[in-house]
Chain A
Amino acid sequence: METLFFILFAALAIAGSLATVWLRYVVHSAFALMAAFLGVAGLFILLGADFIAVSQVLIYVGGILILILFGIMLTPPDKKERSVKRVLGFGIPVFAIVGGLAFQIGSVVKWVEKPDLPIPGPTAAPIGRALLKPDGYLVPFELVSIVLLVALIGSVFIARRRTMQSIGATSQAIGGTSQAIGGTSQAIGRASSAPGGKS
């Protein structure tokens, strides 16, 4: 039974990733990517990692994929972008290298597997305890929360609406860029001078 589900989820993940590379339209690739993510989530469940599987569905399928779909909606389609020659020309060597490397590693390394694996229980509580133990992962946990905050503020700052000149100026992209940079530095100057004026 477990083998049957492993084959099902592994086929979903592999077919999803192959279709992501191969399909012509970006939207189709995004939905193939969703299949790949769901297959990997199923494999996580088979590995007894229930918390990671739920996080995978929530963050990858519910967050990153929606973000990618927004990116697709805000950019024009490019129907002549895929070239079969280029995909195969990179694909065959990359698959040959990865396959050869995997074969070599598999023939040399003897993986140590515990002989009698315990039946996996719920993992949320042990992971939470490991994350918040001072001699565990407390410092990386806090650091990664700061990274997340910085990424949030930074992406909002980068993606905010600019002045009308810099948005439409495709013919004078250089002028638009320098204007945008000038506008940014002006905005920074205003932001830094504002609290000083109040106090």
Chain B
Amino acid sequence: MGLAGYLIVSAVMLACGIVCTVARKNVIYILMGIELILNAANLNLVAFSRFNGHLDGQVFAIFSIILAAAEAAVALAIVLNVFGLFDSIRPDDPDLLKE
């Protein structure tokens, strides 16, 4: 299978991730959308690495996976803290900076 097939799968996953981030009103969905976007980027990197013959894309994908793990841990800590303070996980509810 050529490069184009992988790029199409990656594009569909990217679009799903964007919609999941923007259209759902739950912080957990936003996290899942970000993970989908990062996974689509990883798929692109590894596909280009394969059809280019270099390993650099795979190394980039490893860095991206590491940063995704760090981001998920910090984001979930923030979500749990916000839920403790506001009793809500809708991203519209914390609005203390508006006042």
Give the distance to chain A from B39, nearest Cβ to Cβ, in Å. 5
Query: Within the complex, which residue of B3, B12, B24 is in contact with A82, where a contact is CB–CB below 8 Å?
Result: B24
Interface string of A65-80 (1 = CB under 8 A from B): 0011011101110100
Q: Knowing A20-B36, A21-B19, A177-B96 are in contact, say whether A48-B87 is a contact too (CB < 8 A).
A: no
Q: 19 A-B residue contacts at CB 8 Å? A: A14-B9, A17-B17, A18-B12, A40-B39, A43-B6, A49-B61, A59-B69, A64-B35, A64-B69, A67-B72, A71-B31, A75-B28, A111-B3, A123-B55, A127-B55, A130-B59, A152-B70, A162-B84, A169-B85
Q: How far apart are A127's CB and chain B's nearest CB, in angstroms?
A: 6
Chain B nearest Cβ from A147, distance in angstroms: 6
Q: Are A81 and B70 in contact (CB under 8 A)?
A: no
Determine the chain A residues whose CB is within 8 A of the CB of B81 once the complex forms. Answer: 158-159
Contact count band on B: 35 or more
Task: Assign chain A's interface to a size class.
Answer: 35 or more
Residue pair A123, B58 in contact (C-beta under 8 Å): yes
Partner of A91, one of B7, B19, B78, B80: B19
Instruction: Assess whether A68 is in contact with B72, with CB atoms less than 8 Å apart.
Output: yes
* Given A21-B19, A21-B20, A155-B74, 4 extra CB contacts under 8 A: A17-B12, A71-B28, A127-B55, A158-B81
Assess the B25–A81 pair: CB atoms within 8 A: yes
Hey, which chain B residues are within 8 Å of A111, CB to CB?
3-4, 51
CB-contact partner of B46 in A47, A95, A114, under 8 A: A47
Q: Are B23 and A173 in contact (CB under 8 A)?
A: no
